[in-house]
Structure 1
């Protein structure tokens, strides 16, 4: 039996069960949950960076967005609040649309 030891989506146990396979899961405490969400975010960002096609990239971006929803909740907020903060920062400092690459600053 392969060992995974990783956070999975909520319906994965049902999907595994439907195949007739046996498995073991447990519910994480709050501290473990946050730690595993962060690990999963890093994993999904890495998968996004390795994506070869736009459809693959969009699939990984969707996973990242799902994790951002979960992370905003564990921090007592919502994705709407994260979006509001994003908009405020874009208003104050701009976004990344102009492709500006800072090479150096002289004092």
Structure 2
């Protein structure tokens, strides 16, 4: 039986069970959960980086967003609060739409 040892979406055991395959799971402690969410965020972002078409990119960005929802909830917040902070930072410092690449800044 292949060993995965990773955080999976909530319905994955149900989906596996529907195939008739045997599997094992366990519930994570809070510390393990946040550690695994952080690992999963890198995994999903790497999958996005490796895409080469719009459809795959959107699929992977949806996975990244799902992780962001879980992380916000873990920290006692919501994606709406995260979005509010994002908007505030964009108003103060801008976003990334203008494609500005900083080369250097003079030292004092």
- Using the size of structure 1 for normalisation, the TM-score is 0.99
Aligned length: 107
> Which structure 2 residue ranges, 5 or more long, are not aligned?
none
Whether 1:95 and 2:61 are equivalent positions in the alignment is: no
Alpha-carbon separation, structure 2, partners of 1:102 and 1:18:
52
Q: Distance in 2 between matches of 1:44 and 1:74?
A: 18
In 1, Cα distance between the equivalents of 2:99 and 2:38? Answer: 28
1:18-38, CA deviations, whole angstroms, 9 ceiling, x for partnerless residues?
A: 000000000001000000000
Q: Could you say which residue in structure 2 is the equivalent of 1:55?
A: 55
Aligned CA-pair RMSD: 0.5
Within 5 Å, give how 1:25-44 maps onto structure 2.
Answer: 25-44=25-44
- Rounded to whole Å, the distance in 2 between the matches of 1:69 and 1:23 is 27
Secondary structure (helix, strand or coil) at the match of 1:84 reads helix
TM-score (norm 2): 0.98
